[in-house]
């Protein structure tokens, strides 16, 4: 009886996704270094903007600009980046609540040093050098006061 | 509502990497064992439903091949959920409410070892804002753990103690993968994987399968001396965006638990699907479990975590306590999605 | 990248290590040596090629290994006229379900050495194996099937195995 055979297999799909109006406007905003959030009927500002209010299901289309600085609400330090991580040096994944927003967005924070990281720390967007209108136009966040 | 009970449960011994067997070969003995324990022949089963994820296998429609293990000819009533088998069990329970059939076979299988499970699970995230950043499953859980620590709802020591207790209890579970006598102090001296999570806070990577046989009313009485009657079952989901939720609490578990009637009697045993240590603390609170409730005597998902199987296994493990006469009223919980996004709660009772 | 139509590119790539399992590993190991092996169901006695360790009809494990012939019957076929990327043969060509002698389920393979207009149900065919140096643990150890010249199999002999 032979041992069970193994073989490498790659699953690869070149998906293209339609953004629709809300996500499309948000991505277009990033290209102009502007961050947009969606305002709900209760006046909450969701960043990144959602097409529907998760509380009520109401359609959202009122997009307003929020700040490019904000506060870390939770974080995790990645001492050893994995192959698919976009920052190939130690960094933090974090939820960042931007000034003017009521919800936090998941992104990366580059401090170079885990001892700098703390919940409540102020951070600022580091823009990508090449803006293409996608979530990665925000290269990552960095401490507001370097 | 029609009375439905778990009458048979079986599972594989879980392994880091099941190289010898393909999914069907892995599943077949488990299905036969569950049917035998449930006392219902395969050809008399009224409804068959499975839970699995094609991305685990890396092949679209991979679940179809698993049907070979069932013997789907002449054509059977069959369904599949691309979710943990616990949700397949929910579908079977709903199907049995129709009243025209009296039994169901529910199974789940998963080989988490074939791909990189931390990357595979990233594909369940929102594809516009989150997935392109490739946050892996452990890092997502770590964000929740930090928030829970910051909120004062847990300590790293409590988390280590949950890991130690789970793996100590798992020594009595022949199916468990990670077992042993661990000391919380020693565990806390280990380095972080994704802070504040250490290795012991995370589930093992597991391959395995599980199956449950459900029977309704008179049939359940006939085939089982002590069926585990489902007295309540409910599931709820929360918003997709991690930053829109209170990660330190589980509103969906709370509501599902209330709807399933968790608080309507004394709970002897709770099997909670908490792949990460801090999640047990969140779930206990959401379900309002007293400190004297025995949680995860099987070792839980910290002892074996075959993705798509571990939730169904919680229902099976809890039901088995009743079938064996070791408990009268049990709670089983299953979760899906990042940071306890979606939760199912099932309450079962023995009546004899 | 966003274009005028509001579309973003989201390529996904995952790497896996597939495992063949016991039954398929045995099939693949043996086909490299120019033989084809299946498994017989202990309940309905049907022979599955390639076997995957189970009988899909009965839902029981299969263990008994059975060697089948490298020749059989075209039970059904299609003519491929349109080229697609990665195509090994120039269209038009025939792809067929071949019921090997001794098996109860057809395999899928390429037909050659026969004009497509002559391909028909019931045609008797045999495997043309690759040279020993090119044999591998794959169905591709068989280069293609070609007609044997035997009389066609009567429809009744394979009608239940289509």
pLDDT in tens, B240-292: 889 999 999 999 999 999 999 999 999 999 999 999 999 999 999 999 999 99
Which residue among A15, A75, A108 places its CB closest to the CB of B133?
Answer: A108
Distance from CA of A6 to the nearest CA of B (A): 8
Answer yes or no: is pLDDT of A36 > 60: yes
Report the chain C residue with the minimal C-alpha distance to residue B29: C61
Look at B120 and C61 and tell me if their CB atoms are within 8 Å.
no
B16 in C contact zone (CB under 8 Å): no
The CA-atom distances, in angstroms, between B65 and each of B21, B313, B315, C56, C59 are: 14, 21, 25, 9, 12
Mean pLDDT on C85-103: 92
- Same-domain status, B90 and B125: no
List B335's β-bridge partners, or say none. B343
- List the structure tokens of A35: 């961050």
pLDDT digits (tens, 9 = 90+) for A56-97: 999 999 999 999 999 999 999 999 999 999 999 999 999 999
Number of CB pairs, chain A paired with chain B, less than 8 A apart: 107
What is residue C18's three-state secondary structure? Answer: strand
Mean pLDDT on A13-36: 95
Task: Please state, in angstroms and rounded to a whole number, the distance separating the CA atoms of residues A123 and A96.
Answer: 8
What is residue A38's three-state secondary structure? Answer: strand
Question: What backbone phi and psi angles, to 5 degrees, belong to B177?
Answer: -105, -40
Report the chain B residue with the minimal C-alpha distance to residue C43: B71
- Same-domain status, B47 and B192: no
Chain B: touching chains (3 or more CB pairs < 8 Å) = A, C
Q: Per-residue b/e over C57-89, b at no fewer than 16 CB within 10 Å?
A: bbbbbbeebbebebbbbbbebeebeeeeeeeee
- Same-domain status, B182 and B211: no
pLDDT digits (tens, 9 = 90+) for B338-352: 999 999 999 999 997
Confidence at residue B97, expressed as pLDDT on a 0 to 100 scale: 98
Which residue among A6, A103, A114 places its CB closest to the CB of B19?
Answer: A6
For tokens 């296994």, what's the residue? B313
Do residues A1 and C26 make contact, with C-beta atoms less than 8 angstroms apart? yes
Q: Name the pLDDT band for B22 (thresholds 50, 70, 90).
A: confident
Residue A105 is inside which H or E element, if any? strand A105-109
Q: Could you give the angle at which helices B156-169 and B277-287 cross, rounded to 10 degrees?
A: 90
Look at C8 and A19 and tell me if their CB atoms are within 8 Å.
yes
Confidence at residue A4, expressed as pLDDT on a 0 to 100 scale: 81
Which residue among A11, A77, A95 places its CB closest to the CB of B242?
Answer: A95
Task: Please state, in angstroms and rounded to a whole number, the distance separating the CA atoms of residues B51 and B235.
Answer: 15
Report the chain A residue with the minimal C-alpha distance to residue C29: A2
Confidence at residue C127, expressed as pLDDT on a 0 to 100 scale: 98
Confidence at residue C2, expressed as pLDDT on a 0 to 100 scale: 43
- Same-domain status, B170 and B23: no
Distance from CA of C32 to the nearest CA of A (A): 13
Answer yes or no: is pLDDT of C51 > 80: yes
Which residue among A5, A14, A16 places its CB closest to the CB of C28?
Answer: A5
Do residues B348 and B6 make contact, with C-beta atoms less than 8 angstroms apart? yes
A82 in C contact zone (CB under 8 Å): no
- List the structure tokens of C35: 């033989």
Mean pLDDT on A128-142: 97
- List the structure tokens of C92: 């038009």
Do residues C30 and C50 make contact, with C-beta atoms less than 8 angstroms apart? no
Provide the strand spans (E) within B217-306.
Answer: 228-237, 269-271, 294-295
Please state, rounded to an integer, the average pLDDT across all residues of chain B. Answer: 96
pLDDT digits (tens, 9 = 90+) for B161-211: 999 999 999 999 999 999 999 999 999 999 999 999 999 999 999 999 999
For B36, the domain range is 4-115+205-228
Segments making up each domain of chain A, as ranges = 20-143
Chain C residues touching A27 at Cβ < 8 A: 2, 6, 8
Confidence at residue C1, expressed as pLDDT on a 0 to 100 scale: 44
Number of CB pairs, chain B paired with chain C, less than 8 A apart: 84
Confidence at residue A146, expressed as pLDDT on a 0 to 100 scale: 57
With a CB cutoff of 8 Å and minimum separation 6, the contacts of C92 are C79, C80, C81, C116
What is residue C132's three-state secondary structure? Answer: helix
What is the ipTM for the molecules in this complex?
0.96
Terminal Cα-to-Cα distance of chain A (whole angstroms)? 64
With a CB cutoff of 8 Å and minimum separation 6, the contacts of B290 are B267
What is residue A54's three-state secondary structure? Answer: coil
Mean pLDDT on A16-42: 96
Please state, rounded to an integer, the average pLDDT across all residues of chain C. Answer: 93
- Same-domain status, B130 and B213: no
Residue B47 is inside which H or E element, if any? strand B47-51
Interface test with A, best of C1, C8, C15 (most A CBs within 10 A): C8
Q: Of A62-66, B100-104, C88-92, C146-150, where does mean pLDDT reach its minimum?
A: C88-92
Q: Name the pLDDT band for B313 (thresholds 50, 70, 90).
A: very high
Percent of chain B with pLDDT over 70: 100
Radius of gyration of chain A (CA): 18
Closest residue by Cα to residue B139 from B184, B83, B195, B67: B195
Task: Please state, in angstroms and rounded to a whole number, the distance separating the CA atoms of residues A62 and B278.
Answer: 37
Task: Please state, in angstroms and rounded to a whole number, the distance separating the CA atoms of residues B319 and B332.
Answer: 8
Domain boundary among B160, B194, B228: B228
- List the structure tokens of B141: 């859980």
- Same-domain status, B193 and B58: no
- Same-domain status, B171 and B314: yes
Which residue among C10, C15, C17 places its CB closest to the CB of A17?
Answer: C10
- Same-domain status, B186 and B279: yes
Distance from CA of A84 to the nearest CA of B (A): 6
> How many CB atoms are closer than 10 A to CB B95?
18
Task: Please state, in angstroms and rounded to a whole number, the distance separating the CA atoms of residues B117 and B111.
Answer: 9
Confidence at residue A38, expressed as pLDDT on a 0 to 100 scale: 98
Report the chain A residue with the minimal C-alpha distance to residue B196: A76
- Same-domain status, B121 and B99: no
Which residue among B130, B139, B239 places its CB closest to the CB of A76?
Answer: B139
Interface test with B, best of A36, A76, A80, A97 (most B CBs within 10 A): A76
Interface test with B, best of A1, A23, A82 (most B CBs within 10 A): A82
Residue B319 is inside which H or E element, if any? helix B310-323
Confidence at residue C4, expressed as pLDDT on a 0 to 100 scale: 52
Question: What backbone phi and psi angles, to 5 degrees, belong to A39?
Answer: -95, 130
- Same-domain status, B277 and B133: yes
Task: Please state, in angstroms and rounded to a whole number, the distance separating the CA atoms of residues C27 and C25.
Answer: 5
Answer yes or no: is pLDDT of C71 > 50: yes
A134 in C contact zone (CB under 8 Å): yes
A17 in C contact zone (CB under 8 Å): yes
Terminal Cα-to-Cα distance of chain C (whole angstroms)? 48
B339 in A contact zone (CB under 8 Å): no
Task: Please state, in angstroms and rounded to a whole number, the distance separating the CA atoms of residues B85 and B335.
Answer: 10
Report the chain B residue with the minimal C-alpha distance to residue C55: B68
Which residue among A15, A19, A104 places its CB closest to the CB of B243?
Answer: A104
Answer yes or no: is pLDDT of B29 > 70: yes
Confidence at residue B20, expressed as pLDDT on a 0 to 100 scale: 84
Do residues B323 and B227 make contact, with C-beta atoms less than 8 angstroms apart? yes
Mean pLDDT on B111-121: 95
Residue B222 is inside which H or E element, if any? helix B217-223
With a CB cutoff of 8 Å and minimum separation 6, the contacts of B4 are B93, B96, B97, B214, B215, B216, B217, B220, B229, B230
A59 in C contact zone (CB under 8 Å): no
Chain C: touching chains (3 or more CB pairs < 8 Å) = A, B
Answer yes or no: is pLDDT of C38 > 90: yes
Confidence at residue C6, expressed as pLDDT on a 0 to 100 scale: 86
Segments making up each domain of chain C, as ranges = 19-68, 70-162
Q: At B140, which CATH number? A: 3.40.47.10
pLDDT digits (tens, 9 = 90+) for C1-22: 444 558 999 999 999 999 888 8
Chain A: touching chains (3 or more CB pairs < 8 Å) = B, C
- Same-domain status, B308 and B260: yes
Chain A residues touching C18 at Cβ < 8 A: 6-9
Question: What backbone phi and psi angles, to 5 degrees, belong to B93?
Answer: -60, -45
Interface test with A, best of B53, B144, B243, B276 (most A CBs within 10 A): B243
Q: Name the CA dihedral angle for B346, B209, B303, B200, rounded to a multiple of 10 degrees.
A: -100
Task: Please state, in angstroms and rounded to a whole number, the distance separating the CA atoms of residues B100 and A40.
Answer: 46
Number of folded domains that form chain B: 2
A74 in C contact zone (CB under 8 Å): no
Confidence at residue A1, expressed as pLDDT on a 0 to 100 scale: 44
Distance from CA of C76 to the nearest CA of A (A): 30
Task: Please state, in angstroms and rounded to a whole number, the distance separating the CA atoms of residues C128 and C122.
Answer: 19
What is residue B49's three-state secondary structure? Answer: strand
Chain C residues touching B113 at Cβ < 8 A: 17
């Amino acid at each position: 009886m032979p041992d069970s055979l193994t073989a490498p297999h790659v699953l690869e799909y070149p998906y293209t996704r339609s953004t629709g109006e809300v996500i499309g406007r948000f991505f277009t905003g990033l290209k102009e270094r502007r961050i947009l959030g969606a305002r709900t009927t209760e006046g909450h500002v969701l960043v990144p903007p959602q097409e529907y209010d998760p509380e009520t299901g109401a359609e959202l289309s009122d997009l307003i600009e929020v700040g490019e600085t904000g506060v870390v609400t939770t974080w995790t330090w990645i001492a050893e980046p994995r192959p698919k991580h976009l920052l190939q040096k130690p960094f933090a994944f974090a939820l960042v609540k931007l000034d003017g927003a009521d919800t936090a967005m998941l992104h990366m924070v580059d401090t170079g040093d885990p001892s700098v990281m703390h919940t409540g720390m102020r951070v600022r967007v580091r823009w990508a050098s090449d803006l293409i209108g996608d979530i990665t136009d925000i290269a990552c966040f960095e401490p507001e006061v370097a | 509502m029609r009375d439905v009970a778990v009458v048979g449960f079986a599972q594989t011994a879980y392994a880091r990497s099941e190289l010898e067997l393909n999914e069907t070969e892995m599943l077949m003995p488990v299905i036969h064992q569950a049917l035998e324990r449930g006392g219902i022949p395969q050809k008399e089963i009224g409804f068959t439903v499975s839970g699995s994820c094609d991305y685990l296998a890396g092949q679209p429609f991979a679940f179809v091949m698993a049907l070979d293990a069932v013997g789907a000819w002449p054509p059977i009533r069959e369904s599949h959920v691309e979710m943990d088998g616990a949700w397949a069990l929910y579908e079977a329970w709903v199907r049995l409410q129709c009243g025209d059939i009296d039994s169901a076979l529910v199974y789940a299988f998963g080989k988490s070892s074939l791909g990189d499970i931390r990357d595979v699970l990233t594909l369940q995230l929102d594809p516009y804002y989150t997935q392109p950043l490739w946050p892996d499953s452990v890092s997502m859980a770590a964000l929740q753990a930090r928030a829970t620590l910051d909120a004062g709802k847990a300590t790293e020591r409590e988390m280590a103690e949950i890991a130690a207790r789970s793996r100590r209890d798992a020594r009595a579970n022949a199916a468990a993968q990670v077992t042993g006598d661990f000391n919380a102090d020693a565990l806390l001296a280990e380095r972080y994987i994704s802070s504040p999570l250490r290795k012991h806070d995370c589930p093992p990577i597991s391959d395995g399968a599980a199956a449950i046989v459900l029977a309704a009313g008179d049939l359940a009485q006939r085939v089982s001396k002590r069926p585990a009657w489902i007295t309540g079952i409910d599931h709820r989901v929360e918003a997709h965006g991690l930053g829109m939720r209170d990660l330190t609490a589980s509103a969906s578990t709370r509501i599902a638990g209330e709807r399933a009637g968790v608080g309507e009697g004394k709970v002897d045993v709770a099997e909670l699907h908490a792949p990460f240590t801090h999640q047990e603390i969140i779930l206990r609170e959401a379900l309002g479990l007293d400190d004297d409730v025995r949680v995860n005597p099987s070792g839980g998902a910290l002892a074996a975590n075959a993705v798509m199987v571990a939730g169904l296994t919680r229902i099976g493990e809890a039901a088995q306590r009743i079938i064996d006469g070791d408990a009268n009223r049990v709670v089983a919980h299953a979760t899906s999605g990042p940071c306890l996004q979606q939760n199912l709660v099932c309450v079962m009772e023995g009546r004899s | 990248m966003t274009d005028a139509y509001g579309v973003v590119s989201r390529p996904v790539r995952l790497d896996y290590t597939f495992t063949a399992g016991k039954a398929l590993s045995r099939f693949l190991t043996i086909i490299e040596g120019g033989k084809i092996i299946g498994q017989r169901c202990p309940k309905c006695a049907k022979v599955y090629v390639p076997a995957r360790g189970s009988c899909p009809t009965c839902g029981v494990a299969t263990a008994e290994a059975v060697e089948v012939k490298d020749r059989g019957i075209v039970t059904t076929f299609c003519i491929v006229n349109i080229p697609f990327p990665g195509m090994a043969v120039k269209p038009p060509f025939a792809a067929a379900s071949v019921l090997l002698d001794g098996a109860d389920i057809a395999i899928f393979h390429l037909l050659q050495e026969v004009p497509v207009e002559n391909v028909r149900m019931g045609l008797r065919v045999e495997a043309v194996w690759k040279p020993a140096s090119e044999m591998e643990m794959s169905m591709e150890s068989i280069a293609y099937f070609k007609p044997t010249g035997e009389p066609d199999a009567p429809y009744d002999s394979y009608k239940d195995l289509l």
